[in-house]
Structures are given as structure tokens and as C-alpha cells.
Amino acid sequence: MFDARIGDISGRGKLAADMREIWMMQPRFERRVGPDSASALVAQPRFRAGYDFLAPALPMRKRSSVELADWWEDFSLGDADEREALLQHGADARMRDRR
């Protein structure tokens, strides 16, 4: 998908690798709980760049994306207790959606 959207930037070395990592990070923002956890994503060196890439597109996306961006902002800035509460709330919401 990256190559189709961005094109061939193979000659640009590190920039291409950074751009690819940020682009590939985008679907992970939708998965806040589970094996591909939010804590692991926040620990990524380019998390903030990935989040900043997500945020400008939000007005063009559905309303739930705005809530998603708010959640990630709160999670990335929160302490351990706040992060645990956000994860628990996300897990509870996921269980309600399955019913």
C-alpha cells in the first residue's frame, strides 16, 4: 500500500524508512488493546510523528476518529494509572461491542 500511495522513494534511504514506518503505524492506532498494545506503540521512537500524521486527516474521517485521537493524546501524556484506566475502558467498550 505504501508504494501505491507514496511511490518509489527507494533512493532516499533513511527518509524512506522513516516514512514507511510512520505509514505502517497508522492501522495500529485502531487497535488499542491486545497483542499489539498501546504501550508498545507509544514506546516507538516515531510514535509522535505517526500520531501527528493521523491527526490532520481527522476532519475528513468519521467522528469516532476524533475520539480515537483524543484517546491517544490522553494515553501518551498519562501516567501509569491513567494509562491503565484508559486501557480498561477500551477493553470494556470492546466487550460491549461484541454483544
User: What would the 3-class secondary structure string for the chain be?
Assistant: CHHHHHCCCHHHCHHHHHHHHHHHHHHHHHCCCCCCCHHHHHCCCCHHHHHHHHHHHHHHCCHHHHHHHHHHHHHHHCCHHHHHHHHHHHHHHHHHHHC
Q: Taking residues 78-82, report their average pLDDT.
A: 94
As for how many domains the chain has, the answer is 1
User: Rounded mean pLDDT of 16-44?
Assistant: 84
* Domain with 42 in it: 2-98
- What confidence score (pLDDT) does residue 69 get? 84
> Domain holding 12: CATH number?
1.10.3090.10
- Can you give the pLDDT at residue 92? 65
pLDDT exceeds 60 at position 95: no
pLDDT, average across residues 72-77: 94
What pLDDT sits at residue 78?
A: 95
